[in-house]
Amino acid sequence: MVTALVGAGELGQVIRLARERLGWRQCDLGAAANYSAATISRLEAGRYASLDLAKAQRSPRSSEYRAMYSPRYWASAHGRRLRWSPQGPPIPGRIRCDDARFSPPAWPPCRWRRWRGWMTRSRSPSDAAGPLTRGQLAAQLQHRWRLYDAGRLRDLVEDLPGLLANAHQAAADSADEPATWALLAGVYDLATEVLHKVGAAQARVTADRAMTYAARSEDPLAQATAARSLGIVLRHEGRETVAQRLTTRAADRLEQTGLNDPAQASAYASTLCTTAYNSAMAGRREDALAMMAQAREVAVRLPEQMPALPPTVHRLQATPAQVALYDVGVRWGRGDAGAALAAGRGLRAEQFPTAERRARLHTDLARAHVLRQEPEPAIARLLAAYQHAPGEVRDRTSIRGVAVELVRRHRRTPGARKLAALL
């Protein structure tokens, strides 16, 4: 059918079929291509003679790019009360919170220079004035991942506009090579991880961008990283089945590489874990358990001292402890709190190299205790998570919501007042 449509010159119908196959709305495709939903509608209707999608996708001066990285947008999206700003650009899905019971974290105000995001603080030592080389951009990305691993979400939210602007500038000045697009995809992957954790709807836009640049790189590792991030966003949008299919395809592409390299094997195990979690949330429990068993088989064959992964695939490192932690999440996602607690019984914070992962151990177990209606150990776990990485409790939207609800319902439980004070 597609061949016939192409032969007949009905490219608009091809775009529509591809969009519907992905389960996207016109506004979703527009966000990925820097166009409005109305423009996508005209494209699908066949009125595309004056449009150049590829050129707009590469242009850092498109309206969405200017809006997304403008000081006005970020001040309104991450201001002290996260309120809607009628003066800001009309971006669909801007953050707002009208529920007085749950107030998102109060981000400190940023001081701005220009719309491209050059900031007067929170600049890393590796930031250089002027155009960046690909190596300098990779160093900046590595520095931001260290902030992520330390749970410093607030610093990262403030840093993102400058980092994204630097990435596009470096890509424009670099050769059109797979490594360039893989690096750009890695920057957008970091942006997706951070924005998703703080509850920003723009995580969907950055995840789509990561997928676009990863596909352009033709690197299976970059594609797996981007698919993992987009799958997480889709899962939280209630589209678990789509997320499961997306990460399954990414795992299949990695398996076709032969998994001869430790980085490929580690990425494969990590992608299987994400796919298992997506499957559990989609109601495919047996598939989820089978994938977790396969991930464990791959993880135990990995070397004890894994070589450092490049910053573009930083989140795809798998160890037996990491896989076991995912098993806790999968069983919690299946609604089996007892099995989740049993899976996490042998895990200790010392088994995880980063503060973010150590905090994640406690927050996942806290969720299992909440599912079992055990507020006291749940609060104790959240307090332990705060000790490792305060941002994982205070700034991560989903966990903050769990903490706020625990405090609201169980004010007299030991630790509740302390937790409330930390929030």
Cβ–Cβ < 8 Å for 217, 185 = yes
Which is nearest to 14 in space by CA: 37, 55, 43? 43
Cβ–Cβ < 8 Å for 14, 1 = no
Question: Is the model's pLDDT at 107 over the cut of 60?
Answer: no
Residue boundaries of the structural domains of the chain: 2-58, 339-423
Question: Is the model's pLDDT at 182 over the cut of 50?
Answer: yes
User: Which pLDDT score, from 0 to 100, does residue 3 have?
Assistant: 55
User: Which pLDDT score, from 0 to 100, does residue 8 have?
Assistant: 56
Q: Distance between CA atoms of 227 and 240, rounded to whole angstroms?
A: 13
Q: Distance between CA atoms of 119 and 69, rounded to whole angstroms?
A: 12
Q: Distance between CA atoms of 305 and 135, rounded to whole angstroms?
A: 25
Question: Is the model's pLDDT at 243 over the cut of 90?
Answer: no
Tokens (6 digits) for 81: 């009360």
Which is nearest to 32 in space by CA: 192, 269, 180? 192
User: Which pLDDT score, from 0 to 100, does residue 288 have?
Assistant: 86
Long-range contacts of 408-415 (CB under 8 A, 24+ apart): 408/101, 409/375, 410/375, 410/376, 410/379, 413/375, 413/376, 413/379, 414/376, 414/379, 415/376, 415/379, 415/380, 415/383
Give the residue-averaged pLDDT of 265-290: 86
Lookup result for tokens 């059918």: 1
Give the residue-averaged pLDDT of 406-415: 91
Which comes out higher in pLDDT, residue 285 or 215? 215
Question: Is the model's pLDDT at 119 over the cut of 60?
Answer: no
Which comes out higher in pLDDT, residue 400 or 10? 400
Q: Distance between CA atoms of 191 and 314, rounded to whole angstroms?
A: 13
Tokens (6 digits) for 114: 């220009």
Question: Is the model's pLDDT at 385 over the cut of 90?
Answer: yes
Give the residue-averaged pLDDT of 341-369: 91
Question: Is the model's pLDDT at 66 over the cut of 50?
Answer: no
Range from 37-41, 129-133, 155-159, 183-187 carrying the lowest mean pLDDT = 129-133
**% of the chain surpassing 70 pLDDT:** 74
Across the chain, mean pLDDT equals 76
Question: Is the model's pLDDT at 287 over the cut of 60?
Answer: yes
Fold (CATH) for 2-58: 434 Repressor (Amino-terminal Domain) (1.10.260)
Which element (helix H / strand E) includes 114? none
User: Which pLDDT score, from 0 to 100, does residue 135 have?
Assistant: 86
Question: Is the model's pLDDT at 129 over the cut of 70?
Answer: no
Torsion of CA 217, 219, 220, 225, to 10 degrees: -60
Q: Distance between CA atoms of 273 and 259, rounded to whole angstroms?
A: 16
User: Which pLDDT score, from 0 to 100, does residue 404 have?
Assistant: 93
Q: What backbone torsions phi and psi does residue 112 show, to the nearest 5 degrees? A: -115, 155
**% of the chain surpassing 90 pLDDT:** 23
Which element (helix H / strand E) includes 89? none
User: Which pLDDT score, from 0 to 100, does residue 384 have?
Assistant: 95
**Inter-helix orientation angle 26-33/11-22, to 10°:** 100
CA angle, residues 247, 252, 257, in degrees to nearest 5: 130
Give the residue-averaged pLDDT of 406-420: 91
Question: Is the model's pLDDT at 209 over the cut of 50?
Answer: yes
